[in-house]
Structure 1
C-alpha cells in the first residue's frame, strides 16, 4: 500500500502533525520524545506532590517512561519481576530517592495482590497508573492461575492491580488533576477481538491472535474504567506506543521483526525507545487530556477515527471492534470473576 497524507487527519492534539507520513524518517526523527513532552507541559520539577505507578520497568519503554516522568519530581514506583535487572536498567534514577521498585510477578495473581498491599503501605496517594508490562506472541503456556499467558499477564494482572488500588486513585483526585489509568495496548489489537467464550484459546492457539486479544482487552478495560469511574475523577485511556525494537518483547518474534526491518515503510514508522514512551507520558501528563478518558492514544496524540478497512499494520486508528459497550461490560464482569474480586 502506498502511504498517503490521509493518516494524520485521524489524529488530534498538539503533536499530530509530527506523525505525517511525509515527515517520518525512523528512530530519532521529529516525532516527540517523552522527555520533550514533560518540557512542553512545563512539568519539570512541578509534580513533587504526585505519585505514579508504572509496571514493567526492567527494560524497554518502561525504563524510558520512568526516565521521562522522573523529570517532574514525582514519586515513582516501578514494578518488576526481576528486581536486579530493573536496578541495572534504572541505574542512577534510583539514587534520587524518588524512584522506588516493587516486586511483582504478573503471571501470579497472588503476587499482584501482595504488590498492591505493599504499595498501600508505602504511599497514601496515587495519581496515575501506567500499565506498561507485557509479553508478546509467546508459545502456548499458562500463568500460575491457569490463564493463557498473554491475557493473564497483559490484562488480568493489570485489572487486579487497578481493582486493588482504585480507592487510592479515587481519594487522590483533585479539582486540578483527576487520576489517570493508562493501559499500553498496541495496534495489534486489530488482530482480533477478545475471545470471551474461549479466553485461553483452548484448541486453537495462535500466539499473535492471543496477543491481539489481550491488547483489545487493554482497551476494553480503560473504556469501562471511564464509564464506571469517569464521573468520580478516574479516567482511563489506552495507548499504542508505535513500533520499536525491544529485545524483551520481540524474543519470540525475530522472524516477523526481521521482515519489518526490511520493509521501507516500516523503517520510516519505527521509533526510538525515547519516542515510543512518549504516548504513555502524554496520556499520564498532558493538559489536553485533563478530565477526559475513553480515548485511544497513538503518536502522543489521540485517534479520532477507526483504521480504514483497507489500512495496513502501520495505519493510524483503532480496530472496528475496539469499542463495544456490551463486550466491555462483559469482560469487566468476567475479569472480576477470574481474579476473584467483587463490589462488596
Structure 2
C-alpha cells in the first residue's frame, strides 16, 4: 500500500479560506475527464444527505459525469428542486430516506433496488452533529444511528447491487463521510455505545470513528487485492453548514475567526468525497482515511479542530472487526 497519495498537496499548502485555490468537487470531475468521458452513462451513484450543503455539491459534481444520481433525503421535494439545477444529461431520482428510522432505511433500499440492479457508488454523506440527547424510535443514540448504524444497514441492503456493479466494472466504491471530529472519541464498546453521562461531542466523535472502522472492515471483506468493492472514510474539511446550527453562535463566530483561512466552501468540502469515488489513484487506497483529496496520517501533538490527521484508534483493525460483529447482532441481520 502506498504511503502517501496527495495529488492536490500543492493546492493545500497555503490556504486563504473558502473559494481559494483548493479544488472543488467539479474541478475533480473535470481534472479526471469525467465531464467529457461517456463511460459513466450507465453508472448509478447514490448520495445520502443530498440536500445538505456538501451533499448537494457532491451530487451536482457527480451529475456532471453523466451517471444516474439517486438523491436520498428526508425532504424529497427539496432533493428534486436541487436536482433540477444540475447541468448535463444525467438522470436523477429522489428517494425518501430518514436514517433515524430503520424502517425508512429498508424502504429506501427497496425503492432503489426495484429500479436499479447495479449501484456503482454510494456517498454516505448524511449526518447529525452536536444534537441534544435523544434516542431514536429504534432505541439507539441519535448520532450513532443516523451517522453510522443507518448507513451500515443501507449498505448491507444494497450490497448485492454494489457487488453486481463491481463485477461489471471491477470497481465499485463506498465513501463514508467521517470527520476530524472522530478524534473526540473512540467507539464506546464498554458501554455498548451508550454515552453516559451524555456529551454531544463524545456522541458525535464515536459515530464518526465508527465510520472509519466501517471503511476498514468493508475493504477487508470486499476489497483488497481480490475484491472490487472499495470503501473509504473521508474528512471534508471545515465547512460552515447547517449542522453547526446546534452550536452556540458565539462558538461558531470564534471558530470562523480562528480557522477562517482553513475553512472551505461547500463545493470544496465535497471534493474529497468525489475524488475518493472517481479517482483511479484512489482505487488502491481502500480502507483508509482520506482528506484534502489524498491520504492522511496520524494527527500531530497539540492539534486543533482543523489540524489534518487522524487519531491512532482509527487504525485499530480489531475494533473494526468487533464493531462489525456487534452491528450484525444489533440489527439482527445475517453476517456477510
TM-score, with structure 1 as normaliser? 0.91
> Which secondary structure state, in structure 1, belongs to the residue aligned with residue 212 of structure 2?
helix
1:330 corresponds, among 306, 322, 329, to 322
- Cα distance between partner residues in 1 of 2:88 and 2:97: 21
1:186 is displaced (CA, Å) by 0.1
- Cα distance between partner residues in 1 of 2:101 and 2:222: 27
- Cα distance between partner residues in 2 of 1:302 and 1:142: 35
Does residue 188 of the first structure (1) align with residue 160 of the second (2)?
no
1:312 is displaced (CA, Å) by 2.1
Contact 2:69–2:90 (Cα < 8 Å) also in 1: no
Q: Which of 234-243 and 79-88 deviates more?
A: 79-88
1:203 is displaced (CA, Å) by 3.0
Return 5+ residue gaps in structure 1 as ranges.
Answer: 1-9
Contact 2:135–2:142 (Cα < 8 Å) also in 1: yes
1:139 corresponds, among 114, 123, 132, to 132
Contact 1:13–1:288 (Cα < 8 Å) also in 2: no
Contact 2:119–2:161 (Cα < 8 Å) also in 1: yes
- Once the two structures are superposed, the pairs formed by residues 191-270 of structure 1 within 5 Å of their partners are 191-230=184-223, 231-247=226-242, 249-253=243-247, 254-263=249-258, 266-270=259-263
Partner of 1:120 in structure 2? 113
- Cα distance between partner residues in 2 of 1:27 and 1:11: 25
Does residue 39 of the first structure (1) align with residue 34 of the second (2)?
no
- Cα distance between partner residues in 2 of 1:329 and 1:111: 26
> Which secondary structure state, in structure 2, belongs to the residue aligned with residue 232 of structure 1?
coil
Q: CA, structure 1 residues 177+289, in 2 after alignment: closer, same or farther (shift >3 Å)?
A: farther
Contact 2:65–2:90 (Cα < 8 Å) also in 1: no
> Which secondary structure state, in structure 2, belongs to the residue aligned with residue 78 of structure 1?
strand
Return 5+ residue gaps in structure 2 as ranges.
Answer: none
2:71 corresponds, among 75, 78, 96, to 78
Partner of 2:163 in structure 1? 170
Contact 1:241–1:278 (Cα < 8 Å) also in 2: yes
Contact 1:306–1:320 (Cα < 8 Å) also in 2: yes
- Give the superposed CA RMSD: 1.8
1:94 is displaced (CA, Å) by 9.5
> Which secondary structure state, in structure 1, belongs to the residue aligned with residue 240 of structure 2?
coil
1:202 is displaced (CA, Å) by 4.6
Q: Which of 105-114 and 190-199 deviates more?
A: 190-199
- Cα distance between partner residues in 2 of 1:308 and 1:202: 27
Q: CA, structure 1 residues 261+198, in 2 after alignment: closer, same or farther (shift >3 Å)?
A: same
- Cα distance between partner residues in 1 of 2:312 and 2:200: 21
Q: CA, structure 1 residues 322+202, in 2 after alignment: closer, same or farther (shift >3 Å)?
A: closer
Deviations 1:11-34 (A, max 9, x none): 6321122111xx200001010000
> Which secondary structure state, in structure 1, belongs to the residue aligned with residue 41 of structure 2?
coil
1:175 is displaced (CA, Å) by 7.2
Does residue 276 of the first structure (1) align with residue 269 of the second (2)?
yes
Contact 1:76–1:99 (Cα < 8 Å) also in 2: yes
> Which secondary structure state, in structure 2, belongs to the residue aligned with residue 114 of structure 1?
helix
Partner of 2:313 in structure 1? 321
